[in-house]
Amino acid sequence: MGKISQGILGGLSGKVGNVIGGSWKGIDYLRIKPSSVANPRTEGQVNQRNKFSATIEFLQPNKAFLNLGYKGFAYKKTAFNAAMSYVLKNAITGTAPNFTVDYSLALLSRGNLSNVVNGAFDISIPEQVTFTWNDNSVDSNANTTDKAMLLVYNPSKKESISILNGSDRSIGSDVVSIPISYAGDTLELFMAFVSSDGKEVSNSVYLGSGTAAP
């Protein structure tokens, strides 16, 4: 049984009804005991867990990319958690209970830097992916020295390869080396830009998928 020694606003030790009291580093606190869940696996809960699992499976291999791409949203949360919130809200598709991530809607980078224009890729050469884009450094806040952020995601192996400080925007192309073990796998390709000082990023662009050359 709990005991109230200093009135309802302090000094509660233990549990009184559904109120639990204690002290941490000299600070008295009160909290409400959570209600028991009669059925912890309701349809809604299962669906939410499946959405969460699909999002985690996609984002976890791309964590390095997210840490840069979402650093502007890492306020009272991590960049990864900010990305989780965005993808869960905007990029989950499918019919319950089978949910997947719509890559075309799943931003891996979010920011106000001028975006990628006419991004494309060539995956026909073994052990590499060639990314290309238009030099739009005259647009808005774009600069010739903005660096390409390139990502090759392999969903079957649940891993990715990224370059976060690639070629300048003005160069228009870059190459990402991939392991021979990727041959025949379907790869998902993403791209964004980061300013040369690392302070600004663009929204990421999903370029599509392709099969790695044997």
Q: Are residues 170 and 124 in the same domain?
A: yes
pLDDT 10s digits, 38-89: 555 787 788 889 999 999 999 999 999 999 999 999 988 999 999 999 999 9
Q: 140: closest CA among 193, 190, 180?
A: 193
**How many residues does the structure list for the chain?**
214
* 207 shares its domain with 168: yes
**How far, in whole angstroms, is CA 148 from its chain's centroid?**
18
Domain hosting 21: range is 3-32
**Does residue 38 sit within a domain?**
no
Domain count, the chain: 3
The end-to-end CA distance of the chain, in Å, is 70
User: H helices of 41-78, where?
Assistant: 43-59, 63-69
Q: Taking the model in full, what pTM does it have?
A: 0.79
pLDDT range class, residue 4, cuts 50, 70, 90: very low
Both 21 and 88 in a single domain? Answer: no
Same domain, 202 and 128: yes
pLDDT in tens, 163-197: 999 999 999 999 999 999 999 999 999 999 999 99
Taking CA atoms, 7 is separated from 11, 23, 25, 31, in Å, by: 7, 15, 20, 15
Residues 6+ apart with CB under 8 A from 136: 114, 117, 142, 169
pLDDT of residue 157: 97
What's the confidence (pLDDT) of residue 33? 66
List pLDDT tens digits, range 10-29: 555 566 556 666 666 566 66
Q: Give the Å distances, CA to CA, from 21 to 9, 34, 195.
A: 10, 14, 50
Same domain, 18 and 48: no
> Is the domain of 134 the same as that of 188?
yes
Phi, psi dihedrals of residue 72, rounded to the nearest 5°: -70, -10
pLDDT value at position 86?
Answer: 97
pLDDT classification of 96: cutoffs 50, 70, 90: confident
Mean pLDDT over 121-147 rounds to 96
Ramachandran quadrant class, 31 (left: phi over 0; alpha: psi -120 to 50; beta: rest): beta
